[in-house]
């Protein structure tokens, strides 16, 4: 089926479902928002409302950094030959903050041909005593930032580039977020916000970077945290500030060291920083600074050494991305569980691709026979073990189809340290697929589960991780996007943290599978994988996804569609409700590895048509380890 037509039909079904569950008014509002976002203006869409900003200014009017009740944040900004228009825009964004808890520390390494930089700063200093300035020798971005830090008086520090712009409520919101963390008894040493790209005017942004909550696997692949990062000054001093040997990726290196000390990071999903796009900026790509990649790999390798983990740091699939090829501990046996009912041609394609291509040799295959009716199926089972060493066929004693019960039964025959749940309608594409699934898991501190990149036969993405809340329940990240793309913020091309991955290809530590009681047999067909992953996450483990394990998925050939069968439709609705009952609707609709300002109507990571929570300052900080 044409993928655009398929997406249109899925959106149509979702609209009908939304109208039934929440009423025509909600469906109409969502539709109107979609139209507005796609076809009408987007002016100032990431800024707070005028009323919100006015109320915040009124709250702090007449107060000082000492009396406003917010932690003082010193912004560290090295200057170097800054174009006057850019510098004035940056300074204006500081002096026009809604709260007075900021200090701006400027270390000016401009050459003698640019005396206007110092003159402009002195002009602003005369009007705002919270701007401090020092002329320094240019020793590189890290050393210059450290020189700015030496001027700081705040309990907290923040990093800002000389050609960018702060959102007007940046200091107030970060100060409040710190207080929120303290009130919750959570670490307040490292926070970051969302950001946006602009060219001339922040009221007409090009795009936003709507980030997930702290995602450690993702952060090892790229510095998605970037701006605006705020951290305690004592932590900055304890780790020795920024390191000149990592110039070009000095912030990524610093953040890794700060997070090691803080035990995680807190994310405030508000757009508090505007990153200017121009020829010399890294926001336009790493072509402006070709040494960035070498510095990033050093920062990552040093992080591994400090934390005692073993892996090789390599270039990623795209510029500005990297990967850690974790050293697999031992030689774990993987038990591949494949439920199958008839469709032996599909099973043969699956098995032949496993045995012909898989480079990781320590695996066993258990085909779980599920109520087949065709005589040739059983003839195939008799001959297959002779052709495929280590293959066993076990017969599930149940009736009908229950994916959870079938896999739980198969687990009883498994001997491996890892289980791989695998559909019979997949085909392996790369020989190191199983090795790459093991890498994020089979090392100290690794994830408990890892999922794979699955493609439709037409080379569009079927699965690149699961986002809970999409379509109201759960959906596949980047579904229908063409193969080979980077995805939103490289999220289809880097090892990722997700709330769930599909059970069509899911590697899990056997001990963890047993600890949480396996798959819930109340989820016979739908959401069994989502429920399982959420229970694993709730038990304190991480869920990873890798783009380096690639398979074709000939989706649902064995079962067929559920949409036109009223019995199947009722069962599907019951399993939807079971997911809500177990995990809570609010939790399902609040995936920490997504972002509340991204849409839940589609899988393409486009921004939400309804940004009122962002514009009204309703989005709050959240810490994750």
500-539: pLDDT as tens digits: 999 999 999 999 999 999 999 999 999 999 999 999 999 9
Co-location of 260 and 357 in the same domain: no
Task: Assess whether 78 and 170 both reside in one domain.
Answer: yes
Between 422 and 20, the more confident residue is 422
Pair 245, 354 in one domain: no
Q: Does one domain contain both 416 and 491?
A: yes
256 within a domain of the structure (yes/no): yes
The residues that bridge with 466 in the sheet, in sequence order, are 476, 500
Of the given ranges (22-26, 135-139, 231-235, 289-293), which has the lowest mean pLDDT? 22-26
Angle subtended at Cα 228 by Cα 468 and Cα 67, rounded to the nearest 5 degrees: 115
Whether 422 maps to a domain, the answer reads yes
pLDDT for position 42:
67
SS3 432: coil
Upper half-sphere CA count for residue 23 (Cβ side, 13 Å): 3
| DSSP state for residue 598 in the 8-state scheme | B
Angle between helical axes of 375-387 and 344-357 (0-180°, round to 10):
10
Confidence of residue 1 (pLDDT cuts 50, 70, 90): very low
Residues 88 and 234 in one domain: yes
Q: Residue 322: inside a domain, yes or no?
A: no
Give, for 93, the enclosing helix (H) or strand (E). helix 84-95
- Rounded Cα distance, 589 and 472, in Å: 7
Q: Inform me whether the pLDDT recorded for 287 exceeds 50.
A: no
- Supply the Cα-derived Rg of the chain in whole angstroms: 26
> Residues 489, 356: one domain?
yes
Q: What average pLDDT does the segment 457-465 reach? A: 97
Location of structure tokens 């047999």: 521
Q: What is the predicted pLDDT for the residue at 24?
A: 80
Task: Tell me, yes or no, whether 357 and 241 share the same domain.
Answer: no
**Domain match, 249 and 136 both:** yes
CATH assignment at residue 93: 3.90.550.10
* Boundary-marking domain end, from 268, 284, 300: 284
Residues 554-569, mean pLDDT to the nearest whole number: 64
> Region 307-326: what's the mean pLDDT?
96
What's residue 32's pLDDT? Answer: 63
Residue 218 belongs to some domain of the structure: yes
273 shares its domain with 373? no
Q: Where are the beta strands (DSSP E) in 2-122?
A: 73-79, 102-108
Query: Which residue, among 433, 429, 409, has the nearest Cα to 339 in the 3D structure?
Result: 409
Instruction: Give yes or no: residues 495 and 367 share one domain.
Output: yes
Alpha carbons 112 and 174: distance in angstroms, whole number: 36
Q: Are residues 351 and 273 in the same domain?
A: no
Q: Please answer whether residues 333 and 416 qualify as being in contact, where contact means their C-beta atoms are separated by less than 8 angstroms.
A: yes
- Say if residue 289's pLDDT is above 80: no
- Cβ 136 vs Cβ 148: under 8 Å: no
Mean pLDDT for the stretch of residues 42-55 = 92
Q: Please determine, for residue 560, whether its predicted confidence score (pLDDT) is greater than 60.
A: no
State the pLDDT confidence band at 41, using cuts at 50, 70 and 90: very low
Encoded tokens for 98? 């809604």
Per-residue DSSP letter, 506: E
Torsion angle, alpha carbons of 276, 281, 284, 285, to 10:
-150
Q: Which of 223, 257, 284 is the last residue of a domain?
A: 284
Q: What share of the chain is helix, strand, coil (3-state, %, to 5)?
A: 35, 20, 40
Query: How many domains is the chain built from?
Result: 2
Pairing of strands 265-276, 190-198: parallel
> Is residue 384 a part of any domain in this protein?
yes
**Mean pLDDT over residues 529-555, rounded?**
97
CA dist 484 and 613 (Å) reads 34
8 Å CB contact between 487 and 606: no
pLDDT band at 259 (very low <50, low <70, confident <90, very high): very high
Q: How far is CA 160 from CA 74, 175, 233, 277, 525, in A?
A: 10, 16, 15, 14, 50
pLDDT at 39 over 50: no
Query: Among 284, 313, 346, which residue terminates a domain?
Result: 284
Predicted pLDDT of residue 35: 56
pLDDT for residue 281 is more than 80: no
* C-beta separation of 105 from 149 below 8 A: yes
What is the pLDDT at residue 556?
55
Whether 38 has a pLDDT exceeding 70, the answer reads no
Mean pLDDT over 326-351 rounds to 97
* Angle of CA points 257, 491, 358, to nearest 5°: 100
Q: What whole-number distance in Å separates Cα of residue 184 and Cα of residue 620?
A: 12
Residue 394, in any domain of the structure: yes
Query: How confident is the prediction for the chain on average, in pLDDT?
Result: 92
Question: What is the span of the domain harbouring residue 200?
Answer: 50-284
Q: Is residue 250 part of a domain?
A: yes
Instruction: State the pLDDT at residue 22.
Output: 67
Domain membership flag for residue 607: no
Q: Are residues 252 and 390 in the same domain?
A: no
């Amino acid at each position: 089926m044409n993928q655009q037509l398929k997406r249109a039909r899925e959106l149509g079904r979702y609209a009908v479902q939304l109208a039934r569950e929440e009423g025509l008014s909600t469906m109409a509002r969502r539709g109107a928002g979609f139209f507005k976002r796609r076809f009408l203006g987007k002016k100032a869409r990431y800024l707070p409302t005028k009323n919100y900003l006015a109320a915040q200014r009124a709250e702090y009017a007449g107060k000082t950094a000492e009396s406003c009740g917010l932690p003082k944040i010193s912004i560290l900004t090295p200057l170097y030959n800054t174009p006057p228009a850019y510098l004035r825009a940056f300074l204006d964004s500081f002096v026009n903050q809604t709260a007075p808890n900021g200090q701006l520390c400027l270390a000016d390494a401009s050459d003698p041909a640019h005396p206007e930089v110092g003159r402009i700063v002195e002009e602003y200093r005369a009007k705002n005593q919270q701007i401090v300035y020092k002329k320094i020798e240019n020793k590189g971005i890290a050393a210059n930032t450290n020189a700015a830090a030496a001027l700081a008086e705040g309990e907290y520090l923040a990093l800002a580039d000389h050609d960018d712009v702060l959102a007007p409520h940046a200091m107030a919101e970060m100060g409040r977020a710190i207080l929120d963390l303290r009130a919750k008894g959570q670490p307040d040493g490292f926070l970051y916000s969302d950001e946006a790209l602009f060219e001339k005017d922040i009221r007409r942004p090009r795009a936003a970077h709507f980030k997930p909550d702290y995602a450690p696997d993702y952060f090892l692949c790229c510095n998605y945290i970037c701006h605006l990062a705020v951290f305690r000054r004592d932590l900055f001093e304890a780790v020795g500030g920024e390191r000149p040997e990592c110039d070009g990726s000095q912030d990524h290196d610093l953040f890794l060291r700060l997070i090691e000390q803080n035990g995680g990071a807190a994310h405030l999903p508000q757009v508090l920083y505007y990153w200017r796009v121009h020829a010399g900026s890294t926001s336009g790509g790493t072509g402006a600074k070709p040494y960035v990649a070498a510095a990033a790999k050093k920062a990552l390798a040093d992080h591994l050494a400090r934390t005692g983990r073993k892996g090789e740091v390599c270039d990623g699939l795209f510029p500005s991305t990297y990967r850690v090829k974790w050293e697999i501990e031992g030689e774990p046996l993987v038990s591949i569980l494949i439920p199958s009912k008839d469709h032996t041609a599909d099973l043969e394609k699956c098995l032949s691709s496993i045995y012909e291509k898989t480079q990781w040799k320590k695996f066993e295959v258990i085909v779980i026979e599920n109520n087949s009716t065709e005589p040739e199926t059983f003839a195939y089972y008799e001959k297959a073990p002779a052709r495929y060493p280590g293959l066993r066929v076990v017969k599930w004693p149940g009736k009908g189809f229950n994916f959870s019960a079938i896999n739980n039964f198969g687990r009883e025959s498994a001997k491996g340290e890892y289980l791989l749940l695998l559909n019979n309608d997949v085909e392996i594409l790369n020989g190191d697929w199983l090795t790459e699934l093991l890498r994020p898991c089979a090392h100290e501190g690794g994830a408990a589960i890892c999922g794979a990149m699955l493609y439709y036969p037409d080379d569009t993405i079927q699965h690149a991780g699961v986002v809970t809340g999409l379509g109201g329940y759960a959906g596949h990240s980047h579904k229908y996007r063409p193969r080979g793309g980077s995805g939103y913020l490289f999220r289809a091309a880097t090892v990722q943290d997700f709330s769930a991955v599909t059970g069509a290809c899911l590697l899990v530590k056997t001990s963890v599978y047993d600890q949480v009681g396996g798959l819930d047999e109340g989820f016979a067909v739908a959401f069994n994988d989502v429920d399982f992953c959420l229970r694993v996450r709730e038990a304190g483990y991480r869920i990873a996804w890798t783009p380096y394990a690639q398979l074709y998925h000939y989706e649902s050939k064995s079962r067929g569609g559920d949409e036109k069968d009223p019995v199947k439709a009722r069962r599907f609705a019951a399993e939807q409700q079971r997911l809500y009952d177990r995990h809570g609707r609010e939790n399902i609709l609040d995936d920490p590895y997504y972002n509340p300002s991204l849409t839940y109507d589609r899988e393409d990571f486009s921004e939400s048509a309804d940004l009122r929570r962002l514009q009204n300052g309703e989005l709050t900080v959240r810490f994750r380890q």
